[in-house]
Amino acid sequence: MTERIRIAIADDQAIIRDGLETVLSLVDGFEVVGTAADGAEAVALVAAERPDVVLMDLRMPILDGAAATRRVTAETPETAVLVLTTFADDADIVTALRAGARGYLTKDAGRAELAAAIRAVAAGQSTFSEPVREVLLGRIGAPAPSPTGAGELSGSVPAPLSEPALAERFPALTAREREVYALVLQGRSNAEIAAALFVGVATVKTHINALFAKLGVRDRAQAIARGLGTTSAN
């Protein structure tokens, strides 16, 4: 018998919490260990229960989902944060990824998609729903916004990086690693990257491990946050 995935749920709407708890409790291999009605409760619940995954809404009272995600990833790094929210605008996505979220789904996701995403982040992978992928794709091709001088805490969203920009910003990356990184920034899976570049999945994994090491990140979510952010290369 495979080990069960222990899940916590954080959402300020009781009907959403109850619905998710009911649905996930019926999925083989899942165990819901508790629910929270705000970000502060979510942080406390994760600290107490040490779940494998916490489903995190973004718009919550007392402590919002992004702030709660930062607390969880700093204080309980073994728990993966999977954002589950109504909103899929680029500012929310970038904020959540910077905070340390490993995945991002919108609430119109079906049970199968949600279950697959939970399994993915519990296994250390990153996952994004199709609306979020579309936002990421749009940001990759979008022109840079005019500088405003606003800092990270203001909620401003930095420009995405194209492949030529990757070469300038991360000169330590090889040409192939930049190609792979550009596709990672689009939310592509290893299989999709392999198909796009006409190489094997094992080769893609090798390039991804190398570029993660050079970027100083541990997973796709951090790599995307780095690519969408303003932090300079190491």
Res 150: pLDDT: 33
- Does position 146 have pLDDT exceeding 60, yes or no? no
Say whether both 126 and 218 belong to one domain.
no
Count of the separate structural domains present in the chain: 2
Is the pLDDT at 204 greater than 80? The verdict is yes
Looking at the domain assignment, is residue 73 inside a domain?
A: yes
CATH number of 31's domain: 3.40.50.2300
The answer as to whether 182 is a domain residue is yes
Query: Is 185 a domain residue?
Result: yes
Indicate whether 101 and 169 sit together in one domain. Answer: no
The whole-number average pLDDT for the span 133-154 is: 48
CATH at 193: 1.10.10.10
Query: How confident is the model over 174-200, as a mean pLDDT?
Result: 84
Model confidence at 137: pLDDT above 70: no
- Are 218 and 120 contained in the same domain? no
Looking at residues 169-175, what average pLDDT do you find?
87
The answer on 71 and 25 residing in a single domain is yes
Residue 151 binned pLDDT confidence (cut-offs 50, 70, 90): very low
DSSP state of 145: P
Same domain, 136 and 45: yes
Mean pLDDT within 221-231: 71
Give percent above pLDDT 70 in the chain.
84
**Mean pLDDT score, 213-231:** 78
Cross-strand partners of 128:
104
Flag whether the pTM goes above 0.75. no
State whether 97 and 203 are in the same domain: no
pLDDT at 88: 73
Co-location of 115 and 184 in the same domain = no
| H-state helical runs in 26-142 | 39-49, 65-75, 90-99, 111-122, 130-141
214 and 108 housed in the same domain: no
Average pLDDT, integer, range 89-105: 85
Higher pLDDT: 234 or 69? It is 69
pLDDT interval class at 192 (50, 70, 90) = confident
Assess if residue 203 is contained within a domain. yes
Residues 168 and 131 in one domain: no
Burial of 137 (0-12, 13-18, 19+ CB in 10 A): middle
pLDDT at 127: 86
Closest CA to 182 of 145, 228, 149, 150: 228
pLDDT per residue over 13-27, tens digit each?
A: 999 999 999 999 999
Please indicate, yes or no, if residue 24 is contained in any of the structural domains. yes
Residues 44 and 135 in one domain: yes
Q: Whole domain around residue 31: which residue ranges? A: 5-140
Render pLDDT for 44-84 as a digit per residue (tens, 0 to 9): 999 999 999 999 999 999 999 999 999 999 999 999 999 99
